[in-house]
Structures are given as C-alpha cells and as structure tokens.
Homo-oligomer: A and B are copies of this chain.
Amino acid sequence: MSRQASSIARRMSAIRPFQVMELLARAKALEAQGRSIVHMEIGEPDFDTPAPVVAAARRVLDKGSVPYASAAGLPALREAIAEWYRARYGVEVAPSRILVTPGSSGALLLAAGVLLDPGDRVLMADPSYPCNRNFVRFVGAESVGVPVGPETAYQLSPALIDAHWSETVRMVMLASPSNPTGTTIAPDALRAIVEQVQTRGARLIVDEIYHGLTYGRELGTALAVSPEVFVINSFSKYFGMTGWRIGWLVCPESYRREAEKLAQNIFISASTLSQQAAMAAFTPECVEILEARRREFQRRRDFLVPALRALGFDIPVVPEGAFYVYAGCSRLTDDSDRFCFDLLERAGVAVTPGTDFGEHRARGHVRFAYTTSLEHLEEGVERLRRFLG
C-alpha cells in the first residue's frame, strides 16, 4: 500500500532536535531586542582561526585552483596527520589508514556505515554527544545508552559494558575527553575495554575530538593500545577550525578500502581548501598559538568549577578536558529544561539542559561551556548568583 505523499521516513521519529537549538534561537531573539546574553551553551571555541591556517588558505586562493580532493583526503594531509601521531603520541599510524572527512561528523557516518547492520546494537555512555545515537539510528542500528555517573567519571567501564552486553552488540563508543562531561578515561580502563570488546568480536570507536584540550595531563591515543580501534578526530576543537568542517577517521587496515569506497559515494571528498589550510595547523608556530589557548581554557575551567560549586551545583568529578562542565542541579531544580529556559529569560545566561545528552538523570544536570572569556564567565556566574538568590 502506498503511503501518504507527506509521509516521512520512520527513522526520523527517533531523531530529536536539540533543545539547545531552540534555546539558541531564543537567545538570539532576546539579543535582537537589545538584551545582553552570556553564552555558556556553545560547543565552539571563541577564538578565531589560527593565523598560520588563515595564511595557508590565502596561499591556496592565490593559485585560484580548488579542485576535488581524493575521497580519502589529500595525501600530504594524511601524511601530516600520521606525523602528528608520531610526534605527539609516539605512535606509528600508516597514512593509508587515515581518512580525511567533512568534520568528524563525516568520520562518524563512515564508521557507522561500514560497521553497522540494521538491528546491531551500539553501547555508549548516557550522557554523551547527542549526535552519536543518531548516526547509529541513521543506518538502522540501535543505540543503547548506558547510565554512567561519577563512580566511573561518567565513562563506560568494563563492568558496565559487561552488564549491558548482548549478542547483538556490534560497537562500543567511548569519548575521552567526553562531551558533555569533560572527563577522560583512565589508561587501564581503556586497555581493558579494548581487550574486552575485541574478544567479543565487536568494535571499539574512540572519539578523541577534544584531544589536546586537557588540563594537567596529556592523554594517550587509543591507537597506541590497538590498531584495531576506530578513532575519530577533528580540526574543530583543539585546532580551532569549526567552520572549516574537517576531521578524520583512523580505521583498522581491514576497513580502509570499505571506508574509502563509502566516502567516494557519499561525500566525493572533504573541502580541498580546508584540507590545504589544515596542513598549517601542525606547524610549531600554530601549535604555540593552540597551546596558549589551551592555557586560557584551563584558567576558565579553574575559575568556573569552584564558582559553580559555590552556587550549589554538584560537580563530583573535576573535568580534565574539553571545555565543558557537566553540573548536577538537583539541589536547585527538578527540571533542567525549564531551569535553562528560565535562566535565559530572567537572567540572560544561556546553558544547555542535560536532556540533550541522554536520559539518565538528565533533568538533574546542565552543561556549561567555557567557550567565552573569563570576563563573560564572571558576569555569567554573577547573574546566576542573583538568579538563584
């Protein structure tokens, strides 16, 4: 029987829009009315594109030719990423295993596409990056949110994976540092999970998008643990290139041809200009800029965490990375959605409700992003203090 002409694919009913989008739209409307808004909801660094990257893009424009790149990415950029792994992590990654993608979104889509059949299950932390579950649903698979809390620093653990395992689990996703919690996974736990997932014939995907943005300690890459792990990374966060839309996937040798074939078909290639510009992101001159930004993010975190605690937010685990604080607000409200909209309307502070990141105790949490200046953060905290008082 044919359906109504306006019918929509069934998968779309499982894919919800983000609360933060509605909140952002309202924030912009308030600003258009002349209201001052402190933005602590945005997952985007507030720094410009690093000057060496801009200069590299200019040199491309001087030539005027911006043709398609090959589907897996410009060979020189894949080499540069491999060199980054060598220099930064002491890990050898063959450039042939690196695919440059339109943002890490593209990398997630490729990984889901080559790995997941309809009906397969994917374990991921609840809370986690909201799009992750939707990539899984997009290819007809099922995401299983595993409730996590401060006991495991909001990360999956071998015991949690064990408790949620079933025969149809095909993939386990980790994020370290995590969005929204900013927490990292301990090296021992990572090694145990790699072993556990591989033994059971499933695949581990590790989101390392916020690598480089850790405060106090350097993280190792999961690629050092096993070449059979899929790793997702991005030029958006540490490298400050959000609007350039460029990221990468490192996949095991046995998947690289499939991933490349899929990239040919669904992307053709990532932006050539962005790829050429990104080559400059690894230069010492650029890394110096990025490290200064990292120190600035650390100053912001070091201000924000105690300030929020003093206001009554629960932050049982100090976030070690990314630019987020996932804060318990159950002493302040029983509905973080309403809390966020009230806070915006009445106090001019925009933060993201926990419900964007999952279901587990989501109405008792909000996410603060410290992607705005220390001065703005201080103003935001002051407005919060008055709002709560």
Interface residues of A (CB under 8 A from B): 1-6, 8-12, 15-18, 21, 44, 48-49, 51, 54, 57-58, 61, 63-69, 71, 102-103, 105-106, 109, 113-118, 130-131, 134-135, 138-140, 167, 169-170, 198, 200-203, 228, 241-245, 252, 254-255, 257-258, 261-262, 264-274
Contact = CB atoms under 8 A, between A and B. Distances in A.
A388 to B, nearest CB: 31
7 contacts: A5-B201, A5-B228, A11-B113, A16-B261, A102-B267, A243-B272, A245-B272
A169 to B, nearest CB: 8
Nearest to A108: B266
Contact of A242 (B68, B130, B270): B68
A118 B140 contact: yes
A274 B131 CA distance: 24
A263 B202 CA distance: 28
Contacts of A48: 63-66
Contacts of A117: 9-11
Given A44-B68, A262-B12, A270 B245 contact: yes
Contact of A9 (B103, B138, B139): B139
Nearest to A20: B264
Contacts of A113: 9, 11-12, 138
A2 B245 contact: no
**Shortest beta-carbon contacts, A-B, top 8:** A243-B272, A66-B243, A2-B201, A48-B64, A134-B265, A245-B271, A6-B254, A131-B265
Given A64-B54, A202-B2, A243 B273 contact: yes
A212 to B, nearest CB: 19
B61 A266 contact: no
Nearest to A68: B242
